[in-house]
Chains A and B, each alone.
Chain A
Amino acid sequence: MNLLEIENLSVDFETRSGLFRAVDRVSLTVAPREIVSIVGESGSGKSVAMLAVMGLLPKTARITADRLTFGGENLLGITPAARRKLIGKDIAMIFQEPMSSLNPCFTVGFQIGEALQTHLGLGRAARHTRSIELLEQVGIPEPETRLRAFPHQLSGGMSQRVMIAMAIACSPKLLIADEPSTALDVTIQAQILDLLVRLRDEKDMGLVLITHDMGVVAETAERVVVQYAGQQVELAETVDLFRDPHHPYTAALLAALPERATEKRLPSIPGVVPGQWDRPVGCLFSPRCGFAVDRCRREAPKPCGPDLGRALCHFPLVGGEPRRDLEPAGAAR
């Protein structure tokens, strides 16, 4: 059974000028022990979708979905109290900015111990022992001393390790990592990712890795969701996605990887992600797409079948060339 099942999840924000759709019909499943990556530019709604799963969005957010379950439990109509029993225990999340994600007023030990006390009801001594254990697991030297440290005394990498220790404190079944390495030095980035993958192996947990770095995806994820302007434009096994991307956006992202560059200048995608006001009528990627034709600008595409990575495209790429002859499978999902 899948750990996390999301079907057609949409998130709208009430703004002064009406509803703004930040996440547009995203579907994805995470099996136990699976690493699924969500890739996309800033503002593509990748974090928002996962915050919706955690129930951490502000009250102005309207969350709708055909299905949103965790371990079979429906997360849509869940009461706040029931959700609090779940998050921090069975689903945990770590964030992009480790330095600002730890409370500056409390020691590391206090912040780790809090989760242990809340969900497992551990006493003082047990919390202490377990906290040291956790810090060791995430590779923090001198854990005994570190427990008494305040966040400002830690480096970014250390802070993220503490965040991870906090997140895995209650042995969650699913860990959502929201750009866990973006704010860190390149060398530390690799260490943190290695740590996450290692913990997945040791703890048997599912891992959702939100990132904008295709390199990270290639190294860690088993499956990938590509998001663009809130929409899910492709969903595929990592190997397949890298070998033969079906959505032009995915293809453009991959082409922009330095490792794949063939010319002197790195290829880039012209233009910017559409905002609330300049959303095109047809395909949202059409203004920036090299393959776009009239139909793309006129008509919003429907997702293709699973064999084509559910690409949200009228003319999905196969072997780098758009298949003009192919009618999208439409309701294939």
Chain B
Amino acid sequence: MFRYLLRRAALTLPTFVALMFVTFVAIRLVPGDPVEVRTGERGISPERLAQFRHELGLDQPIWKQFLDYVWGILHGDFGTSLVTNEKVLTEFATLFPATIELSLAAMIFAVAIGVPAGTIAAVKRGSPFDHTVMGASVIGFSMPIFWWGLLLIMLVSERWGLTPVSGRIDLIKFYLEPTTGFLLIDSLMSDQEGAFVSALHHLVLPTIVLGTIPLAVIARITRSSMLEVLNEDYVRTARAKGLSPMRVIGLHALRNALIPVITSIGLQIGTLLAGAVLTETIFSWPGVGKWLIEGIGRRDYPALQGGIMLISSIVIIVNLSVDVLYGAINPRLRHGR
């Protein structure tokens, strides 16, 4: 098991190298550099321009810039934001809890609805419920996030006035000193009445928007996996024991059917974070997604390089841990390798 882990970890190294290269190049392919963007249309004297560029290290040969960047990362230094002058790692660490909170909420939403829906659809295969779930999942999967988000804001927030339009909490009423960075936890720990409800209230719509695609995928995978498992001999054995259908399906079948679902959840962490970028932008959710989008606008090279690097590392690590998690749910793997 340990050797297996080690091998899997080693396999991620080339990914990291490619990542560093791609982020570095891609950002520089966008026309305009940080200085140009900051000076705007009014122009700047060539001397000042040269001076700024020198200060930011942009006058160095490109390979030198790349090596410096790689050297920095190898030493755990992700650079300093050109805009805020803060360490990229610090900024990221401050904003990331908001993104995790949103992503986790979206995943919980997707699993909590997707798994039961997929299971029932499989058990009642061919029923109207099954067709509805499968139809809805095609639509959900195909829904562009920004369109879906705007549509929901228009209907739920604007027309029906049910949820706030943007943000994480009602900023006029509440101020929370970030302790964990997770507003739901911070607000629960604070003594400000209604803060938790307000945070929860703000979370609803972004969660639905971000959770829609994972929900669609999970419902589908659960259904097909369940259909397969329901034909297995051990399900017949469970029924032959005289167990209730609830126990046969909910325990004996579902436990086995969940194995591919967990894989897909792990694989969707990447999709989820990509979706978070859009969702955060639509809902002005102060997480790393919104921060990255703003970084692009400002050509904040270090922030972008570092931010993308950090997010990608997290995706890679999560995928790795999903493999490990398998062992917990699938005993065959635990002893096998």
Residues of A within 8 A of B (CB): 54, 56, 80, 83-89, 92-93, 95, 97, 100-106, 114-115, 118-119, 150, 152-153, 163, 166
Contacts and interface: CB of A to CB of B under 8 A. Distances in A.
Given A104-B331, A105-B330, A150-B332, A118 B243 contact: yes
A319 B132 CA distance: 65
A118 B331 contact: no
A101 B243 contact: no
Contacts of B329: 105
Q: Taking chain B's interface residues, is the majority helix, strand, or loop, or is none over half, making it mixed?
A: helix
Contacts of A87: 240-242
Contacts of A86: 242
A85 to B, nearest CB: 7
B189 to A, nearest CB: 38
B244 A84 contact: yes
29 contacts: A84-B243, A84-B244, A87-B240, A87-B241, A89-B242, A92-B240, A95-B237, A95-B240, A102-B234, A102-B237, A103-B237, A103-B252, A104-B256, A104-B330, A104-B331, A104-B332, A105-B329, A105-B330, A105-B331, A106-B252, A106-B255, A115-B242, A118-B241, A118-B242, A118-B243, A152-B336, A153-B335, A166-B237, A166-B241
Interface string B224-243: 00000000111011111111
Contact of A152 (B236, B238, B240, B331): B331
B242 A95 contact: no
Contact of B234 (A85, A89, A101, A153): A101
Contacts of B255: 103, 105-106
Number of chain B interface residues as a range:
20 to 34
Nearest to A97: B233
Contact of A56 (B239, B245, B256): B239
B53 to A, nearest CB: 61
The interface centre, meaning the residue of A56, A80, A83, A104 with most chain B CB atoms within 10 A of its CB, is A104
Contacts of B236: 56, 95, 101
Nearest to A152: B332
A150 B336 CA distance: 12
Nearest to A176: B240
Contacts of A100: 232-234
B252 to A, nearest CB: 5
Given A103-B238, A105-B331, A115-B241, 12 more contacts: A80-B245, A84-B244, A95-B233, A95-B236, A101-B236, A103-B255, A104-B234, A104-B256, A105-B329, A106-B252, A118-B242, A152-B332
